[in-house]
Amino acid sequence: MPSRLLADVQRGDFRALARAISYAENGVEDYSAQLAGLPPTTTPVVGITGPPGVGKSTLVDALIDHYVKEQKRVAVLCVDPSSTLYYGALLGDRIRMSDWYNHPAVFIRSLATRGSLGGLHPRIIEITDVVRQAPFDQILVETVGVGQNEIEIAGLADTTLVVLAPEAGDDIQSMKAGLLEVADIFVVNKSDRPDADLFIRNLRSMQTAAFRKEGRDIPVVKTVAWQKQGIEDLVRYIDADREKPSAVEKRYRILAEQAYLLIQQQRMKGVDRKSLAATIEELSKDGSFNLYRFVKDFPI
Amino acid sequence: MPSRLLADVQRGDFRALARAISYAENGVEDYSAQLAGLPPTTTPVVGITGPPGVGKSTLVDALIDHYVKEQKRVAVLCVDPSSTLYYGALLGDRIRMSDWYNHPAVFIRSLATRGSLGGLHPRIIEITDVVRQAPFDQILVETVGVGQNEIEIAGLADTTLVVLAPEAGDDIQSMKAGLLEVADIFVVNKSDRPDADLFIRNLRSMQTAAFRKEGRDIPVVKTVAWQKQGIEDLVRYIDADREKPSAVEKRYRILAEQAYLLIQQQRMKGVDRKSLAATIEELSKDGSFNLYRFVKDFPI
């Protein structure tokens, strides 16, 4: 980005930030070179993930409310699957947050996941670091729990909240293994439901079974997001997560994950599935195509 | 693998095949060079995926039964998440298939997904092609629907079955977008439940909404796997899927996906997250670490 745009972002100009994000999102700008020259900032990133329907957006809304009342500046990135299937559901979610769209301390931006098979936006690491250049106290990244993105969030966020809602007890059993493994904090939203305590007991006993060896003990926080109940508690746990002795080591692990993905992007530049398919079709015509020979001879 | 082992695999020796798979699974052998020299075989691969609890293993059991009665030879690869969380559930599943373990026409092998965050086994492409060297009429790959592997299966299988079971109608809504997009055939198992017809209606209307533009029409097959109901129907749909005019183009797309993943593996050889984390920790000590500079300067 032009250095003036960067200066505007750093000053807290939302329109400049929106433009900078769009450039990265649409592949117009590769910020790697520029970000290589900038001092890294450490604005904390909280990831919010979990299955559809548990109230993630309502929880984000309540968190924004909390931070704004504390005079803090908040950026929210919502990672939406680009699948046509979900437009309706998402629209409903997003409307809940719309109160904040014009608030001077709140920046909200939706990013479509490219590639319909889930996963975060390919430029999400860069985009988050561009947002970090702006003077926010807190960055929230919400992912819709479909496809793979709820797992990848752990490679981006300093603290990952896995949001659940009390349902039939056996629902926990079918919860994706990855989802359980990425949680730093479990948020049981809609905890005013009569079956909430049973649900929490099941969650705890499952955790005990899964993480006994590692000695991990993941806090469980009860919220009723639409009534803003439990939010102060949750924020206290988020802050405590950052103060843990293991937080430094975790930071290295996250940076290693990001480095891995960026190196992979760099090394796979210019290789795309579509042109591979065309080449393979061409080579297959006389029946001589062999996958392993093709890969071995593929130019580096 | 030694050429004698390969000859034994090609002759249909199950113990040789098991050994060949183990070598690849544990990273002892890289079969790429060897497979580059062999003529590709075209034994059809059917992928079976879907959420936990819908009866995938019972369905696989019924399919094996069907093929064996037709005098066919079947190989089954079960891709299991290695997470400790799922051992109990899986054991129960696998027991259902145990009748076949000693059948001379049936080869069954479980593969753990390495890397706890889901995804198929990193060597699954090679392993499947090694199995293809053996004289099977049909290869089935079953994935447990957790993490990412139910989506990756579409990059491996000629025909992907997404297995569902009738539950509350709104369950479809929370179905992962990716899962819907990879289906060649929907199997509604447990279709003797009273709410099966409503479920199928919902599934169809969701499909219509999602794929209207593309004009895709994915068949829905009803089964009651534990009673072996609907299996002949299903096999007919599987065969028809292979005869579709679009099957050739799809084959190129699958090969392109496999080529992409193999090229990626090749280019990322020697880069691992653990040693990246150690390097990053070292570089961070004097505060000079910058992610983007690190990636830019990373040796190719």
Query: What average pLDDT is seen over chain B?
Result: 83
| Distance of alpha carbon A169 from alpha carbon A230, whole angstroms | 22
- Average pLDDT on B288-298 reads 91
Q: What band does B118 get if pLDDT is binned at 50, 70 and 90?
A: very low
- Kindly report which listed range (A35-49, A140-154, B137-151) carries the lowest average pLDDT score: A140-154
Determine the CATH number of domain B33-269.
Answer: 3.40.50.300
Is the separation of the CB atoms in B37 and A288 below 8 Å? no
Q: Give the three-class secondary structure for A266.
A: helix
Q: A126: which 2 tokens?
A: 């860069």
| Distance of alpha carbon B132 from alpha carbon A56, whole angstroms | 45
- Select, from the ranges A208-217, B1-10, B67-76, B92-101, the one with the highest average predicted confidence (pLDDT): B67-76
Helices (H), chain B: 3-11, 14-25, 32-36, 56-69, 87-97, 124-133, 149-152, 177-182, 196-211, 231-243, 247-267, 273-284, 291-296
Residues 81-100 of A with CB under 8 A from B: 81, 83-86, 89
Q: What is the DSSP letter of A39?
A: P
Q: What band does B47 get if pLDDT is binned at 50, 70 and 90?
A: very high
**Closest CB from B151, B259, B284 relative to A280:** B259
Domain with CATH 3.40.50.300 in chain B: 33-269
Chain A contact set for B169 (CB, 8 A) = none
Beta bridge partners of A64: none
Min distance A280 CA to chain B CA atoms (Å)? 6
From the candidate CATH numbers 1.20.120.1200, 3.40.50.300, 3.30.43.10, 3.40.50.720, the one assigned to the domain spanning A37-246: 3.40.50.300
**pLDDT over 90 at B180, yes or no:** no
| Distance of alpha carbon B81 from alpha carbon B147, whole angstroms | 8
| Distance of alpha carbon B57 from alpha carbon B189, whole angstroms | 11
**pLDDT over 60 at B176, yes or no:** no
- Tell whether ipTM is more than 0.85: no
Maximal CA-CA distance, chain A: 69
Instruction: Report the residue of A276, A283, A289 to disrupt the B interface, i.e. the one with the largest count of B CBs within 10 Å.
Output: A276
Min distance A1 CA to chain B CA atoms (Å)? 15
**Closest CB from A53, A81, A252 relative to B277:** A252
